[in-house]
Structure formats: C-alpha cells, structure tokens
Structure 1
C-alpha cells in the first residue's frame, strides 16, 4: 500500500506528506485554502480542496489505500458524511489523529483504558471510526504539540497567567508525531488506540520557565490555583506494542 491521502496538510500534515514522498509513496493532500494549493504542488503533493463541513463528494481524494486524518474539526455530521464516502472508496486503512484532551484532569496517570470525558464531540468522532467495519482504523491521541514554529515560549503571551503551575506537562514533538505514524503503517498495526506523549513530565512551572529562558524572554506569570488538578498521559502501550522510543524525550532541552 503505497498510496496515501492526508486530510489536512497544515503544521503536521504537510511535513508528514513530504516524509512519505521521500519514502516513495504517492501522496494526495488536502487544504481548505485555495492559496495553499500551489504550495502543496511545489513539494510534490497532489493537492485537493476538501472541507468536510461542506458535504461535497471527495471521490478522487479518497482514491488511495491509506487515509490519515489530521484536521482539528469536531464537526460530527461532517465526519459522518466523510465516513460514508470512505466506505465507498478504495481506502482500506485509516489513521485518525485525536487528542489527549479526551481525558479529564483527575490527578492520576491516564492510560487508554481510563474513562474519557462524556459528551465530548472528539470522543463521538473516535467512536464513529472504531465502530465502522468497512475499513480498519487506528486512533492516535496526541498530547500537546510543539516543534517547528510552534514553540512553547510563545504561548501565554501578554502577561496571560498560566494555570496549574504545579501540574504536569504532557507534550509531544512533531518529529515524534510523524515517526509514530510511519511506525504504525510500517508495522501494519490497526484497530488500536494509542496515547502519544513524551515520557518526561516536568511541572508546568519548570517547563514554561525553561521555555521562556531558552528564548531570552521574560519569566511567565502563573496562577495560584486553589484546586490542584493534573493528569499524566502514559505512552506505555505505544512503547510496548510498537517498541517505540521517543526522539524528543527531554522536554527541558527543547
């Protein structure tokens, strides 16, 4: 299976597409912006305008073996329409990029077996893919994303206070995101749900002070929360099932 369609060629999807091109795959990539069509073409991606909320037909875009979904939309109706089209396409395998935001902060280490937030549209969308038997889906719940132009030193600007300074950081670098996706496809690992998060969990205070100092910026301002809330995302399943080792596993050396 050497034909891949990537729904959403943005911060993660575009460099991911380029990495598959370098591995000899044929890659179709989508954007919702006409201005980005030429940009995708320039790096060898076959570009498509796709907005799942507009209920159009995406036949040509879905004429691939594998679909990677890397958009932030939580439009349940739009995803139901997309899934109905995947069923009628040549797509055999799907990777759906989800988020560890589905887990509540209940002061414990969270695994894939732990309870997730009810009435969450992202959870509803995950279930639409899990329950479909026309194709196989693996769901990746990425933690907080950084890398490239997305640097934590630039977050919480303008004196905005950072909550929960004694809580813990759950982050993952873009290079690890990409490598995990490649590993799942290379190992043919389907019908799974994985947390994907660095195994290093400094406090939010340590992490953001270090991030600002690394860029020569002023120290951040923290809220002093009366209620102490945190979660630590476990990637043990990812490490055990895939044998994955994180590229960026020291969050204080970013």
Structure 2
C-alpha cells in the first residue's frame, strides 16, 4: 500500500486523510499549529509540524510515495525550497492544488489551455510542472464549499451580490476528495485539470437561494456591477477519470 503525505490537513486535507486511511493507505499529515497535532493523531494520521517558510522540512514527513500539497501559500521562494527537499526524498508523485483563479474573467468558457492571469500561482505551478525529479499533477479547484463552508455566507458586503449576471464555478468537498483519490488510483500524472461542478448557475440565482438557507433574505443585486465572469470547464477531468460529480447541479444542492 502506498504511503501518502498531505501537506496541510485543514478543511479539505483532514477529511481527505480520513478517507485515505479508511481505504488502508498509510497517511502522514502536517499542520503549522502545535495544538492541532492531537486532532490529527486522534484519527490515525501520523502528524507533523511543517511550515514551508522554515529553512528545513522534516525529512520523515517526506518519506512517502505521494505528496499532496493543500496549503494556500503563494510564497514562490518557499516552494522552491520545498521542491529541493522533495528532490532528495522518496517522493516520486506530487499532487499540487491550485485554483481556477489563475484564469482571468473573459466572459467565456475557459479550459486548461486558456491563457492565465498574472497570478503567483501560475509561477508556482510551473516550478512543479518543469521539475523532472518527480511527476506532478495540478488540480485547479473552483470555489470550495460544503459542510461548515456554506455558500450563503460567502456574500458579506452590505448583503449585496456583485456580478449577479455572472456564473459560478464551485466544487463540494466530497467531490474534491473523490477526484484526488481518483487521480491516485488511476495513476494519472503530469497533467493539469480544472475541477469544479459541471453546472454554472447565475450568481444571482445561486446566492439568493443559498443566502436564504442561512436566514439572509432579500439580498441586493448590485446594479453597478460589470458582470464579468468566466465559466470553467471540467470536461478534461470528467473524461480522464470517467467522473460523475456528486454535486453536479448546484441549484439542487
């Protein structure tokens, strides 16, 4: 059975680790907070304190077959240093979690071959993509939601929905986990995938519905918005994994 290290056992990394453990993978997980170590230990994760801004990374944490990077840092130099540690470790496969924010708003459908914005994530993706010491698959997740992350709470400023005529690109935690497991089990490497639900309702319709669920009724649709947007296509991912989203129709969520 493969050994998997998860860099960042937070909102997504912790339940991912628990699912992998249930599938009998050996899982190491990291946190930057000492008080969270017992939380990881309690569910069977071999827990480590890891901060990529440090001058060194615990070599035992990197003693694994696969590394899943689930942190939100955009520190280019820290990732360069992390990669040097990966190069001298046993890790041969990496999943790097990126974001659909790398695409500019073009008021059109975007795919993995669409132009990127001037985003720090693009440069960090390239660090992994160009490295030949290990194989990397990059997953560009849409907006994350599910369980305690309720979309009805995403809109805060003055209860006003900006870009109401735009479209959403979201993905549920459950789908994120199954996609990551699918990449591992199908052994799909050296690829870049968009990952978001394959439905894209208008922001006005979706957020009005979701805000009502948390008791926030009658939101204002910003009349002065430019209504800029992008529609992120997950077709490449669906084809590669033969994947069916658990939460496909976001208006039924």
Q: Give the TM interval when normalised to the shorter protein.
A: over 0.9
Q: Secondary structure at the match of 2:211?
A: helix
Residue aligning to 2:34: 34
The whole-number CA distance in structure 2 between the counterparts of 1:48 and 1:73 is: 18
Partner of 1:206: 205
Q: Paired residue for 2:81? A: 81
Counterpart in 2 of 1:44?
44
Structure 1 counterpart of 2:156: 157
TM-aligned CA deviation for residue 162 of structure 1: 2.3
Instruction: Give the CA RMSD over aligned residues.
Output: 1.1
Identify the residue that residue 232 of structure 1 maps to in structure 2: 231
Q: Identify the residue that residue 12 of structure 2 maps to in structure 1.
A: 12
Mind listing any 5+ residue stretches in structure 1 that lack a counterpart? Answer: none
* Distance in 2 (alpha carbons) for counterparts of 1:229 and 1:158: 18
Look up the match of 2:70.
70
Provide the C-alpha distance between the structure 1 equivalents of 2:53 and 2:39, rounded to a whole number of angstroms: 23
Q: Which residue of 1 aligns with 2:140?
A: 141
Q: Which runs of 4+ in 1 moved over 4 A?
A: none
TM-score by length of 2: 0.97
Contact 1:2 1:24 in 2 (8 A): no
C-alpha change, 1:250 and 1:104, in structure 2 (3 Å) is: same
Any unmatched runs of 5+ in structure 2? none
Task: State the aligned residue count.
Answer: 253
Cα distance in structure 2, aligned partners of 1:193 and 1:157:
32
How do 1:101-120 residues align onto structure 2 when only pairs under 5 Å count? 101-118=101-118, 120=119
Find the aligned partners of 2:244 and 2:225 in 1 and give their Cα distance: 37
